[in-house]
Amino acid sequence: MSNKKDCKPFKKSIKKYLLVTVVILAVAVWAISTYAEQYLLRVSKHESELTMNSCKQFNSWFELGVQDVSILSDLLETSLNKDVPLSSKLNEVAAMFTVFGSQRNICIQMRFFSTEGVELVRVNFKNGVSDRVYGDFSQSEGNREHLQNVLSLKNEVHVSSLDLNIDHSKAAFPHAPVVKFLKKVSGQGKTELGMVEISYSGRSLVNLLKSYAKDSFGDIFLLNGSGHWVIGLDNNYNLKFIKLEQFLLFARQFSAELDNSSSSPTGQFLNSNGLYTYGSVYEDWKIISYVAPGKLVAPRIWITIFLFTILFLWSGFLLWRKSIASSEKECISNALQESEKRFLDITDAAGEFIWETGPEGNFIFVTGRAEDILGYSAEELVGRSPFDFVDEESSWEVRKEFLDAAQERRPFNSLVSTFVNRDGHKLWLEFNGVPVLDSEGNVTGFRGATSDITAQRKTLQELQDREDMLQSISDSVQDALILLDDKGLVHFWNPAAEKIFGFSSDEMIGRDLRSCVWAEDNPDNPEVSPVQGGNGKGFFASHGSFTVNVRKKDGSVFPAEVLLSPLRRDASWWVVGTIRDVTERKEAEDSLRKLATTDPLTGLSNRRFFMEKAEEEVEKAKRYNRSLSLLMLDIDFFKKVNDTYGHDAGDDVLKALSVVGLKVLRNVDVFGRIGGEEFSILMPDTDLDGAVLAAERIRSEIEKANMQTRSGILTITVSIGAATVNERINTLELLLKAADLGLYAAKDAGRNQVKVQLSPDMTD
């Protein structure tokens, strides 16, 4: 009897499941068929619109050619009616062709014929660049059919078929299919002056259709009037109208479809081979969209079928689960007991003890490692309050937390306080608990777990003491101390850093150093730039000591000495750094460097520095095959200035000349004083012509300058010799010698002029 009773619920579930199965299958069939029909309608509409748009674009392409040749015919009519020689007229026609054709990338040729078909002007185009054909390359095409057709027209435009470009009765190579647009050019009194022809690339038609093919669900074909492929099944069929073999006809692959598409200019039909949409362009050409049967299947339809299948199987699974629910209850009960035992074992292994308190706040249940932690057994703890073991200093805080949690009916977590064990030692314990509620929602106690965290607290206290010590050291040093993560973000910023940079710690923590280190302040340090991206690379990813220019909050820039050391943290490399303001040291170094490299009177480069720089530039010019020129400049009759006005006036003249020269020269040029009144100018990346132009400008500016001296306003002139590095002048010594010879030549020629010396020999 018991077996039969057990089978009744199962049989009843089977009957319900069969009813659900019928409903699921009916809904599935309806949904899938509706989805497939809607998808087919969407594809049909899309292909129809795509084909019609393609036809419109094709017709626009041909209308553009008709419009262009008509405009050009009117322009030629005006030009050819001018009373000028024929050659001038033809040159003007060629110029019009050049301008007009360069505006059309699809144009490959423009020609003008006489009424007898003799080619008078031809301009070819490639990628918008014109090439006029002259003389023997012109050809006579009076017997060509398309020219004869033009002569028979009145004011209409003749459009040729898509064919190869013919040059001297042969197909031009590489093969270039073209469409030709022709129109007569009339003169005064309706006299015929000739014919103008524009050839547009047929490949642009192919590319135009390919652009539409990208949006098609299938493929798009283009057929000419004879049924040959212009664009076909693949690249092997494209432009095969050139070869008129029968196997290249559309009808060989789609015989039945050809009959359907030839009955009307536009249309759409579906058969077992797929969906066909067609439209006519340019007389009897056809654009055909073909979507194969496989592409007419609605996408993701198999997902829909899969989902219905899952629903079907899930229903069966629920029935199966229901039939075995009773047996699972017993398994769940056994598993619950095992889970309780496992939980107690885990709490023992984790060093915790589990407890529960009653309405009076005393322990009513204790298990786990209570005795190991407090020194009291579970039996000794039951009936006692947790507050009996709390240190007096923190007793009130623990009581308050328990009372607040009970009033608010909420759990408490990470309640940490000091407790006293049986031996009188203080321990740090962490309590976590949840309230126990009766049927009316009143709190009757708490359940929770307690763990000993004394060791962790001691470790944290030691770390805190060490951190306090390091903070004191950091606050007392005069250098900026910083800590950067692997992305270049600031994590520590001491008071000295605040004082040096002007940014507070709150402003800098979490930001990268772009606020302080800018690439534009360090043009000679290429490694500064990557830090602007905050990617942790660049010079702040390196280690060691270096100097860099940094920027304060107020925008002022100062040199800083940086010392970086790597720090391994959180599986990545951080950087600890010190930054010291070395402004005074840098100013002293710069002052010494200036004294060592500049002339104290004029502020120009001194002879020693000029020669070192010139030696470097000569080597660069030879290594990289770059231009380098040198000017030698000497003041005319400078001794007379000193003798007449005194050496103070002579010094003023030297300084004034330096100012005039610096205004004329570039920043890359090196202007140096290498003798008493003798100057030299080094001009990188400057050939001889450029050097002569610069020398003439310097000479002219100095000649015009009114130089203010302690003896009044004086005017002077200079003589300049110019030389440049070449095959014969390939060392600094030879370059200086050649410029000197040029200087002597300028003085010998009467002074106040520039002379060029091409070799270090006096005879050249």
Reply yes or no on whether the pLDDT at 121 is more than 80. yes
| Cβ atoms < 10 Å from Cβ of 102 | 14
Query: Whole-angstrom Cα distance, residue 30 to residue 406?
Result: 60
Q: Which residue has the tokens 């199987």?
A: 313
Q: What is the CA radius of gyration of the chain?
A: 49
Homologous superfamily assigned to 477-587? PAS domain (3.30.450.20)
Tokens of 321: 């689960």
Taking residues 568-593, what's their average pLDDT?
A: 79
By the 8 A CB rule, do 671 and 662 touch? yes
**To which residue do tokens 């040198």 refer?**
630
Q: What is the pLDDT of residue 16?
A: 63
Tokens (6 digits) for 284 = 């009897």
**What gap in Å lies between CA 620 and CA 628, rounded to an integer?**
9
- Domain range summary for the chain, segments of one domain joined by +: 33-307, 335-458, 477-587, 598-756
Which tokens hold the place of 386? 């947790």
**Separation of alpha carbons 603 and 349, rounded Å:** 83
Mean pLDDT of 441-462: 82
Identify the pLDDT of residue 594: 74
* CATH superfamily placement of domain 33-307: PAS domain (3.30.450.20)
- In the beta sheet, which residues pair with residue 121? 112
Between CA 104 and CA 482 the distance in angstroms is 63
CATH homologous superfamily of 335-458 equals PAS domain (3.30.450.20)
Can 335-458 and 598-756 be said to share one CATH topology?
A: no
Entry pTM: 0.38
Alpha helix (H) ranges present in 350-453?
370-374, 378-381, 395-408
For the record, the structure tokens of 23 come out as 């409903």
| Predicted pLDDT at 532 | 43
Q: Could you tell me which of 611, 712, 601 has the C-alpha nearest to residue 657?
A: 601
| 460/652: higher pLDDT | 652
Select the more confidently predicted residue: 731 or 344: 731
Buried-exposed string 269-302: b where 16+ CB fall within 10 A, e elsewhere: eeeeebbbbbbbbbeebbbbbbbeeeebebeeee
Residue pLDDT, tens place only, 32-85:
788 778 888 888 888 888 888 888 888 888 888 888 888 998 888 888 888 888
Give dist(CA 244, CA 161) in Å, integer: 14
Lowest mean pLDDT among 510-519, 529-538, 648-657: 529-538
pLDDT value for 736: 95
User: How many whole angstroms separate alpha carbon 696 and alpha carbon 680?
Assistant: 14
Phi, psi dihedrals of residue 298, rounded to the nearest 5°: -60, 130
Residue 622 in this model has a pLDDT that exceeds 80: yes
> Which run of H or of E encompasses 663?
helix 647-664
pLDDT, tens digit (0-9, with 9 covering 90-100), for 246-271? 445 565 566 555 555 566 778 888 88
| Phi, psi values for residue 329, rounded to 5° | -60, -45
* 520's tokens: 């534009």
Q: Which of 201, 235, 240 is nearest to 224 (CA)?
A: 240
Q: Among all chains, which residue has been given the structure tokens 């073999």? A: 245
Does the domain at residues 598-756 carry the CATH identifier 3.30.70.270?
yes
Element (H, E) at 644: helix 638-645
